[in-house]
Copies of this chain bind each other. A is one copy, B any other.
Amino acid sequence: MNSVKIAEMDWVSYRDRVKHGRCKIVMPVGAIEQHGPHMSLNPDVLIPEHIACRVAERSGNMLVAPPIAYGYKSQVKSGGGNFFPGTTCVSGRSLEEYAYDVILAFMEHGNREFIVINGHYENSMFLVEAADRAVKHARLAGIELKVVLLSYWDFISEATVGKVFPEGFSGWAVEHGGVLETSIMLKIHPELVDMSRAVDIPPAEFPPYDVFPPDPSWVPESGTLSSPSKATAEKGEWILDECIEKIAKTFS
């Protein structure tokens, strides 16, 4: 039971590790969302959980919480939209309340610092609200929490982007189910990627607004917003190495 995953520890070992608030709790939050016909529905869960574990292993003072698997509703221009079969999302308030409660539950064990690693763009603002409310509620009880909130892709440098997309980068906005996420999954869960089913499409283009109910005709049929065809496990490794190193260095 020598793990950084809290779920796999017994409570006595956990208690001894977190004593005196000396551990940071790393919380992966993801989504169950289509990522094209070539990939499983859970990259937004597995990637932040993977990064969290690697970062925790390096840091020595972090433990990884069980991921929150269901995230906020997929939006057309960032995740293809909430109408794809398999995309299985919760309301903003459910996510907010659930994450808020989880932070406060870990606080009860004496933990004071949290690093929330988000794997699904649409979660961001609801996690902001959860973190802000948790910090303020804790303060009423005389406890000072510190909650860091990050999306792992924000740690990728332009240099790495250049290496991963040698023919030019279409922008983060269309990196849903594209080279970035597919490469990472090829590295960490190749069994959940089937490149023979990858659909080669030009980057999606969207009007400068959103519409509800969403219009499925805006989205490429495959569900990805750009082509995953040039994804490789090696590219995944470059990306992960950078994210993991930087995150570990920043927060240890």
Residues on A lying within 8 angstroms of B by beta carbon are 1, 6-15, 18, 32, 34-42, 45, 65-70, 72-73, 75, 82-94, 96-98, 100-102, 105-106, 108-110, 122, 124-126, 128-129, 131-135, 139-141, 145-150, 154-155, 191-192, 194, 197, 207-213, 223, 250
Q: Give chain B residues whose Cβ lies under 8 Å from the Cβ of A41.
A: 6-11, 14
A207 to B151, CA, bound (A): 12
A145 to B72, CA, bound (A): 22
- Which secondary structure dominates where chain A touches chain B? mixed
A6 to B33, CA, bound (A): 11
CB distance from A202 to the nearest CB of B (A): 20
User: Which of A85, A101, A110, A149 lies at the interface centre, i.e. has the most chain B CB atoms within 10 A of its CB?
Assistant: A85
- In the complex, what residue of chain B is closest to A136 when comparing beta carbons? B213
User: Among B94, B194, B208, which residue has its beta carbon within 8 angstroms of that of A10?
Assistant: B194
Contact B7 A147 (CB under 8 A): no
- In the complex, what residue of chain B is closest to A33 when comparing beta carbons? B11
Q: Give chain B residues whose Cβ lies under 8 Å from the Cβ of A66.
A: 32, 42, 45, 69-70
